[in-house]
Amino acid sequence: MPVGLKAPVSLRPVPGVRVATAALGGRSRPRDDLTLFEIVDGASCAATFTRNAFCAAPVTVAREHLARAVPRYLLVNAGNANAGTGTRGIEDARRCCAIVAEATGAPAETVLPFSTGVIGEPLSTERFENAVPNVARALRPDGWLDAAGAIATTDIVPKGVSRSVALAGGTATITGIAKGSGMIRPDMATMLAFIATDAAVAADTLRSIAKDAVESSFNRITVDGDTSTNDACVIVATGALGNPPVREGSADLPALTAAIGEVALELAHAIVRDGEGATKFVTVAVEEGGSRAECLDVAWTVAHSPLVKTALYASDANWGRILAAVGRAGLADLDLSRIRIWLNGVCIVSAGGRDAAYTEAAGTEAVSREEIVIRIALGRGEAHDRVWTCDFSHQYVTINAEYRT
């Protein structure tokens, strides 16, 4: 079960955005798996995408369209990633955008397509031809909660967050949803995130806000170290609030940046908490590094170690696995005598070996909790950074072994 995660009870509508969901009809069990967002004309939009060289067809088409026009519609399907599908996949993604254009009257290049699900299977555009006109007619301001469920694949819990932030022109609403559970180590900029606010924000400023928000949230999580072919995060500012547009130097910029960052971080944490088969939510915090880059090298090495992750699942305080991961992170001239490591406040390593005061009972108690902090001090400088991950359980193997069956 997800670690300390509950489904949202409600999500606030964002003035300037309408949402609706429908069933494409291609699943063994009927469920909504198609989502359409409508964005008011005049909004600004920023997006980040996977850096996987085998990026999915919708990612390619979304990038093309974003370079040509300001988006009016976001089309999301779950169950089929439309990745690894070659030229046909590109044609199918473009056809899906054309279907939205036919149903709404908007130019096709103002539609951004997004897909998530099984890689390598052709997309049935005929199902979109049947479903898109219906979903376009059903658009409504309060469709966010339905969308949080419709974009999911192996997620157990829908993921959504709403926040408010006071700006000079009034109180802005921020609502975001995300999906992701496995194949998670976003490198952006099968994770998708959509965040909107009714604040007015200059386009270049929104791109800067989005870059910072993604870097400190979605780019700091991992479930299994696999970067998806389809990762994308879209942030929209509709301007419906009527505030003076937030731009560089605006008094409102710090508050809005922080609020959007908090929404992104909560969604990112929700993805890890709902990691496939996860039973532990783990923070790997590295401090006293010579640079943030080397702190992240150590943090990712620990967070991706199958030996560390399986020990955490077993509530086994096998601190040697953490020590070994730090040692193979590739840091030059690492002084082992200066390294200290803690598990939930219990010092397990100091002076190059097991801390003199450490007891197995204390270590076992620390790793038996659902929420675990692995804190590593390198003794090399003042830099620090952190990432979030989960454990590996038997269920993770079962879910991925049986994913297509």
Q: Which residues pair with 61 in a beta bridge?
A: none
Could you confirm whether 190 is annotated as catalytic? yes
Nearest to 389 by CA among 301, 264, 288, 287: 301
As given in the structure block, the two tokens for residue 37 are 């967002």
Nearest to 210 by CA among 187, 178, 233, 240: 233
Q: Report the Cα–Cα distance between both ends of the chain, in Å, rounded.
A: 21
* CB under 8 A, 24+ apart: contacts of 323-329: 323/349, 325/298, 325/301, 326/298, 326/301, 326/302, 326/376, 328/301, 329/294, 329/297, 329/298, 329/300, 329/301, 329/302
What CA–CA distances, in Å, run from 295 to 16, 211, 215, 381, 385? 41, 20, 15, 10, 6
d(CA 264, CA 260): 6
d(CA 185, CA 190): 10
* Start-end of H helices in 200-342: 203-215, 253-273, 292-304, 306-313, 319-327
Residue written as token pair 């454990």? 391
Neighbours of 105 (CB within 10 A): 9
Of 116, 190, 205, 257, which is the active-site residue?
190
Active-site annotation, residues: 190
